[in-house]
Chain A
């Protein structure tokens, strides 16, 4: 279980805004092992989103090294990066980003459509399997508008799982959900992690961080804290102890 998935060395990312250079990341280094559940915390402007984009291979660092599953990312072309995202990363977004008027099953199949090695039969099988993993197999024909927010996010998680990525990258994945649904989704993430999935979760909510195994806190482009979470809490526990509204 000690296989290193992410290795980041002195990562820097500068943006040119007008004539000024904004240094979003000023030298970030860390490693991530297989099976970890990492939350990246930080106020807005801390470099959190920039780090997420680089981790997701959507953006390239100005300097420094990023190895994803042993692949040195700086040496890759745009097309290679697209393939890398397709094979190794599963994205979960704050706003779900499901295709409207498209069934849950077809939404989950989407990443495999961009992988020419997967036959249409295998594509469907894997999509069904992913929907089973998020417990939405009975909703596979429903379109996003027929699903609740929590269900939509679970479809999105199934979509992130379908290509069997080395890491699931979640960007404020509970940001659009009420607290009960948030815990349900976090419970799903925890059980996926238990089954061995590596998860990187970007959030600004401290109690989400307590559900993970490790937290990295960013401020002004530096890591100011990188520590394991002591006595990780279970989302199930929160669910069971939610205050019951007497209305």
Chain B
């Protein structure tokens, strides 16, 4: 018995029951298509979050006050005042792995220009902030260190602020906008960054010297957080260690005390978000994998029905010279062909569905060749696994009994 003949026999048997073959296949098709689509959605969001975080600067470090105990009460982070301008200066001076530092103080409120107003937040930073956060200036200039020193009332604005305040399309540079009653002169326009994955509009931003915000808007001495950048991506860990050491010394913490601040690197954030999306992907894929298993059980079920229904046929095939192994391979081949063809159709549908999801729902998707190869192999394994038992059952039939079967 050769494989060509066996394949022909199996195909003929399947062609005799087209509808049943198709419905059995459908289980596999849906299973594989959903595995592919789910993996694509999971992988896609992972990739785009990674790209998003990288675009904010892979070398970025973020220092904020840690939630602290005050008389047994855990304090809200924003009320913490443990970070000072001196800390930022100290980091810049004493940490060799840190390239740039910018303190951050921000305030929320209405910004007014002419008759228009817009709710936004104003960020007080130093001029290093642009390089740390990978932001560039489209028009005009960044404020200088002199502006910071003198707490000048100048600012740079993002696209969203411009479109809401300067509806006539005129250039905002040189115009005055008011934030909490304080006039700022617009000296620059930031280039567009669009929405990030968390739905935040990155262009809804106003940058001003941190001294101006501290003294004129908030009237505070501390800073809310500090941004810094490591000299390169690999130096992040080293930079964190240096910053921690410097800040612990300047905050006069004893060895037994916890840090009253927290240093995070962007690469850590990427890892954190990746693990979240990985978990999400695994969850989606396992739900889809269950449907693939259900499809496999469908094959097994149909193969059992088929073996019983075709008992006489099996008896005949044995009588005219089919060996046990021929019968076994015929049924095994039927199961494998169903799962294989179903798998291929499923892969195609899965890829199409992923493309559909990314165009219609605007979700990022990414079909990896690994997931295609994997689901293809799983399909073959499903066919063999769930086809084996019914096929063996068929091959063990006694031809005399089988021929007499009603």
Mostly helix, strand, loop or mixed at chain B's interface? Answer: helix
Interface presence of B320 (CB below 8 A): yes
- Asked if B399 contacts A58 (CB within 8 A), the reply is yes
A82:B321 contact, CB within 8 angstroms: yes
A113 touches B8 (CB 8 A): yes
Given contacts A82-B323, A93-B403, 5 further A-B contacts (CB under 8 A): A79-B323, A85-B321, A99-B316, A102-B12, A116-B2
- Decide: A91 and B12 in contact? CB cutoff 8 A: no
CB contacts under 8 Å to A, within B31-53, are none
Does chain B have a CB within 8 A of A139? no
User: Do B320 and A100 touch (CB < 8 A)?
Assistant: no
B1 contacts chain A at the CB level, 8 A cutoff: yes
Residue of B nearest to A114 (CB): B321
Cβ-defined contact, A91 with B16, below 8 A: no
If the complex has contacts A56-B319, A97-B316, are A114 and B1 also in contact, measured as CB distance less than 8 A? yes
Nearest-neighbor residue (CB-CB) of B318 within chain A: A82
A111: chain B residues at CB < 8 Å are 320-321
Q: Which residues of B contact A106 (CB under 8 A)?
A: 12
Which residues in chain B, 289-327, are within 8 Å of chain A measured between CB atoms?
Answer: 312-313, 315-326
Chain A neighbourhood of B5, CB < 8 A: 113-114, 116
A-B contact pairs, 25 of them (CB 8 A): A56-B319, A58-B318, A58-B399, A58-B400, A59-B400, A78-B323, A79-B323, A82-B324, A86-B320, A87-B321, A95-B312, A97-B313, A97-B315, A99-B12, A99-B16, A102-B16, A106-B12, A111-B321, A114-B1, A114-B5, A114-B323, A114-B326, A116-B1, A116-B2, A163-B321
Residues of B within 8 A of A (CB): 1-2, 4-5, 8-9, 12, 16, 312-313, 315-326, 399-400, 403
Alpha-carbon distance between A110 and B313 when the two chains are bound, in angstroms: 11
Q: Which A residues have a C-beta under 8 Å from some C-beta of B?
A: 53, 56, 58-59, 78-79, 82-83, 85-87, 91, 93, 95, 97, 99-102, 106, 110-111, 113-116, 120, 159, 163
Cα–Cα, bound, A116→B312 (Å)? 23
- What is the minimal beta-carbon distance from A159 to any residue of chain B, in angstroms? 7
The reply to whether A110 and B320 contact each other, CB–CB distance below 8 Å, is: yes
Contacts of B315 in A (CB 8 A): 97
Q: How far is the CA of A58 from the CA of B8 in the complex (A)?
A: 25
Using known A-B contacts A113-B5, A114-B326, determine if residue A101 contacts B16 with beta carbons closer than 8 Å: yes
Instruction: Provide the residues of chain A in CB contact with B326, threshold 8 Å.
Output: 82, 114
